[in-house]
Amino acid sequence: MESNVEIRRLFEVMPASGRMTVKIVSKPEQTQVIDTDFPLPWNQERLIYINFDLWGRLTKPQRDLLILQKVSWLTGITWFKPDIYQGVVLAGLLGGLVESAQSDIVGVAIASGLSAIALLRIWRSNKSQDAQLNADNAAIKVAQRRGYTEAEAAGHLLSAIEAVAKIEGRSSLDFITLIRCQNLRAIAGLSPVGVPDNFQ
């Protein structure tokens, strides 16, 4: 597969919000079909790494849905939005500055610890099953604007997840991926059982 041609095609598939921030990089040495780095707050560019030799083993609809899911997840990560954890980070940082100006070591340690806990919570929420399920749903919505039906898009994403696991030689899926697959089966009409509300 010619990587430059496929990269141009994938940019056409992406939503406009993804085109502005996401960059696709060919990485033939990686063992994963598609991979991303978790974007840190100071990184403006969000990178997706693709091994195009492995990528070419997927069907075009599977590739479309996989890239849409990754882009939806990456663009859905928000470090700075008004909620309790961002407020705690800000309060901790400001408190740390005030305490350091007063040379209060204990105050600095407490404020820094508070900020670290809140940052860890933000990081975990962006890596959670909720974030992955939301990215799946967002990818399906974008795919519908690209000519897929909701059931087709869910089916292609489901088959892509399973195909990637097989290509990468993984014999089992992790818990979050199993939850995602069950949700996609329900959306695709392949299973009457969806994901329970307490999992979302």
Q: Each residue of 137-177: pLDDT tens digit?
A: 999 999 999 999 999 999 999 999 999 999 999 988 899 89
pLDDT class of 39 with cuts at 50, 70, 90: confident
More confident residue, 139 or 194: 139
What angle, rounded to 10 degrees, do the helices at 105-127 and 129-145 form?
Answer: 40
Question: Which pLDDT score is estimated for 82?
Answer: 54
DSSP structural state of residue 26: E
Proportion of the chain above pLDDT 90, given as a percent: 54
Q: How confident is the model at residue 4 (pLDDT cuts 50, 70, 90)?
A: very high
Cα dihedral 182→184→188→193 (10° resolution): 30
Q: What's the order of all strands across the beta sheet hosting 46-50?
A: 22-26, 46-50, 34-36
Asked if the model's pLDDT at residue 78 lies above 80, the reply is no
Please provide the average confidence, as pLDDT, over all residues in the chain.
84
Per-residue model confidence (pLDDT) at position 80: 59
The confidence score (pLDDT) of residue 116 equals: 67
pTM metric for this prediction: 0.79
Least reliable range by pLDDT among 11-25, 104-118, 148-162, 165-179: 104-118
Does the pLDDT at position 104 exceed 80?
no
Q: Where are the domains of the chain?
A: 3-78+128-199, 84-125
Which of the two residues, 83 and 56, has the higher pLDDT score?
56
Residue with the bigger pLDDT between 95 and 161: it is: 161
What pLDDT band is residue 27 in, cutting at 50, 70 and 90?
Answer: very high
